[in-house]
Chains A and B, each alone.
Chain A
Amino acid sequence: MTVLDASGQTRADRPYDPADLSSHAFWRSTAVEREQTFARLRADRPVSWHVPVEDMLMEDPNDQGFWAVTRHADLVECTKRHDDFLSGEGIVMESIPQELLDAGQGFIAMDPPRHTKVRRLLSSAFTPKQIGRINDQIEANARRVVDDIARLGEVDFVHTVARLLPMHNICDMLGIAPKDREHLAHEAQYAGGWNDPELMGDDDPLTRMGESAINIAVLAQKNLDDRRAHPGTDLLSALVAAEVDGEKLSDAEITSFFALLTVAGNDTTRQSLSHGVRALTDFPDQKAWLMADLEARMPSAVEEMVRWASPIMTFRRTAARDCELSGAQITAGDKVVMFYASANWDTEVFDHPERLDLSRSPNPHVSFGGGGIHHCLGNQLARRQISALWRQLLTRLPDLEAVGAPDLAVSTFFHGVNHQTVRFTPEGSS
Chain B
Amino acid sequence: MRIVLDETRCSSLGLCEAVAPDLFEVGDDGALRILDDNPGQQRRGLVLDAIQACPTGALSLQE
A interface residues (Cβ-Cβ under 8 A, vs B): 80, 116, 119-121, 123-124, 126-130, 369, 371-373, 375, 377, 379-380
CB-CB nearest in chain A for B24: A128
B63 to chain A, nearest CB (A): 24
Contact of A375 among B11, B18, B21, B28 (CB under 8 A): B11
A132 to chain B, nearest CB (A): 9
B8 CB contacts on chain A under 8 angstroms: 116
Docked complex Cα distance between A379 and B17 (Å)? 13
Docked complex Cα distance between A397 and B30 (Å)? 39
Contact of B14 among A123, A371, A372 (CB under 8 A): A123
B interface residues (Cβ-Cβ under 8 A, vs A): 8, 10-15, 17-18, 21, 25-31, 55-57
Given A120-B30, A121-B30, A380-B18: A127 touches B55 (CB 8 Å cut-off): no
A116, A120, A130, A373 — which one has the most chain B CB atoms within 10 A of its CB? A120
Docked complex Cα distance between A372 and B11 (Å)? 9
Docked complex Cα distance between A342 and B31 (Å)? 34
Question: Which label, helix, strand, loop or mixed, suits the secondary structure of the A interface?
Answer: helix
Docked complex Cα distance between A129 and B52 (Å)? 20
Docked complex Cα distance between A305 and B19 (Å)? 20
B10 CB contacts on chain A under 8 angstroms: 120
Contact A124 B12 (CB under 8 A): yes
Subset of 5 A-B contacts with CB under 8 Å: A120-B31, A128-B17, A129-B26, A375-B11, A375-B56
A116 CB contacts on chain B under 8 angstroms: 8, 11
Docked complex Cα distance between A127 and B24 (Å)? 11
Contact B55 A371 (CB under 8 A): yes
